């Protein structure tokens, strides 16, 4: 395995006698963002957990670096520690002054300047989610796993946090696994999109994207529509359209 990145080879998972997904092949190299989408219960979190070794695949192999930052779908903060203490806790050692400064800077970057000394019970749900994201970013690890990282945020914060996550993970050249229910978010942040398709099928598909550095607003809209079609299809993948049409890629109704 190269230093960084995650590789899935022929990965499948069976729950009881029900296959959740099968034959998943993915490469997430250092610096790349893979967005994972699918309806509730399709197995997004399961797939992410496999990268951390928290779930063993029924078939196939997952190779990932040992050092990683992981933001679970629920924040899982230590209630007796402050926001800053929760963030630096990710280092697994006694925090030194530069660690505290980095922790403060990450919290500030995620809009939490001034909340460093607050305990989780004193924070809103969205604030707790951002503390958990700062904790995942703290080690600057080669792999960053983000399970629905903006689900508890309002529209403005979602946009800001997305940008911060992309910049901070790029600084560390992390490979990023990012699950979301939002096709528009995936179309914005991802280098590759992986869709676990609806329940009765174990199919999955990738959605082609224009390279992120060249992606226009119209490309984002078009990709989001293609992702939405994959999510609502009965299993047949749709290619990404090459041009923008009327915007229909806003299932949450919260994008401009």
Can you tell me which of 42, 88, 141, 176 binds ligand ATP, judged by CB under 6 A? 42
Can you tell me which of 3, 40, 56, 243 binds ligand ATP, judged by CB under 6 A? 40
Q: Using the rule CB under 6 A, give the single segment among 4-12, 37-45, 204-212, 216-224 that binds ligand ATP.
A: 37-45
Give the per-residue contact string, 43-82, with ligand ATP (x = CB under 6 A; - = no): xxxx--------------------------x---------
Cβ 5 to ligand ATP, closest distance in Å? 22
Q: Is 151 in the site for ligand ATP (CB under 6 A)?
A: no
Burial category of 253 from C-beta neighbours within 10 Å (exposed 0-12, middle 13-18, buried 19 and up): exposed
Burial category of 151 from C-beta neighbours within 10 Å (exposed 0-12, middle 13-18, buried 19 and up): middle
User: How many chain residues bind ligand ATP (CB under 6 A)?
Assistant: 11
CA–CA separation, 76 and 151 (whole Å): 15
Cβ 18 to ligand ATP, closest distance in Å? 8
Q: Is 201 in the site for ligand ATP (CB under 6 A)?
A: no
CA–CA separation, 48 and 178 (whole Å): 8
C-alpha dihedral sign at 158, 161, 167, 171? negative
Which tokens is 187 given? 């179309």
188 phi and psi, to 5 degrees? -80, -45
- CB within 8 Å of 65: residues ≥ 6 apart: 1, 3, 4, 5, 6, 141, 142, 143
Can you tell me which of 2, 10, 41, 117 binds ligand ATP, judged by CB under 6 A? 41
CA–CA separation, 40 and 73 (whole Å): 13
Cβ 256 to ligand ATP, closest distance in Å? 25
Q: Is 188 in the site for ligand ATP (CB under 6 A)?
A: no
Q: Is 5 in the site for ligand ATP (CB under 6 A)?
A: no
Q: Is 204 in the site for ligand ATP (CB under 6 A)?
A: no
Sheet of strand 59-63, all strands in order from the earlier edge strand to the far edge: 18-28, 6-15, 59-63
**Cβ closest to ligand ATP, residue 20 vs residue 209:** 20
Q: Using the rule CB under 6 A, give the single segment among 41-49, 154-162, 183-191, 218-226 that binds ligand ATP.
A: 41-49
Site for ligand ATP in 15-34 (CB under 6 A): 15, 20
Q: Using the rule CB under 6 A, give the single segment among 36-44, 185-193, 223-231, 233-241 that binds ligand ATP.
A: 36-44
- 109-132 CB burial, b ≥16 within 10 A, e <16: bbbbeebbebbbeebeebbbbbbb
Closest-CA residue to 170 (of 112, 231, 118, 109)? 109
**Cβ closest to ligand ATP, residue 3 vs residue 17:** 17
Output the CA torsion 132→137→141→144 (10° steps). 60
Q: Is 231 in the site for ligand ATP (CB under 6 A)?
A: no
Residues that bind ligand ATP (CB under 6 A): 15, 20, 38, 40-46, 73
């Amino acid at each position: 395995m190269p230093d960084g990145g995650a590789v899935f080879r022929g990965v499948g998972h069976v729950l009881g006698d029900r296959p959740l997904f099968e034959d998943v092949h993915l490469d997430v190299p250092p610096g790349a963002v893979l967005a994972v989408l699918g309806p509730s219960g399709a197995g997004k979190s399961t797939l992410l957990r496999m990268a951390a070794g928290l779930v063993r695949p029924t078939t196939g192999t997952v190779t990932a670096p040992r050092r990683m930052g992981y933001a679970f779908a629920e924040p899982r903060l230590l209630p007796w520690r402050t926001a800053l203490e929760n963030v630096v806790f990710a280092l697994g050692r006694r925090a030194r002054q530069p660690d505290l400064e980095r922790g403060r800077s990450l919290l500030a970057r995620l809009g939490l300047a001034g909340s460093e000394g607050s305990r989780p019970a004193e924070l809103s749900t969205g604030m707790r989610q951002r503390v958990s994201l700062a904790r995942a970013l703290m080690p600057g690890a080669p792999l960053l796993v983000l399970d629905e990282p903006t689900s508890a945020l309002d529209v403005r914060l979602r946009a800001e946090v997305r940008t911060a996550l992309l910049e901070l993970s790029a600084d560390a050249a992390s490979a990023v696994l990012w699950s979301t229910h939002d096709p528009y978010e995936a179309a914005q942040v991802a280098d590759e999109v992986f869709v676990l398709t609806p329940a009765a099928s174990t199919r999955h598909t990738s959605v082609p994207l224009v390279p992120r550095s060249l992606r226009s607003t119209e490309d984002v809209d078009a990709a989001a529509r293609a992702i939405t079609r994959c999510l609502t299809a009965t299993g047949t993948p749709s290619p990404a359209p090459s041009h923008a049409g009327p915007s229909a890629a806003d299932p949450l109704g919260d994008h401009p």
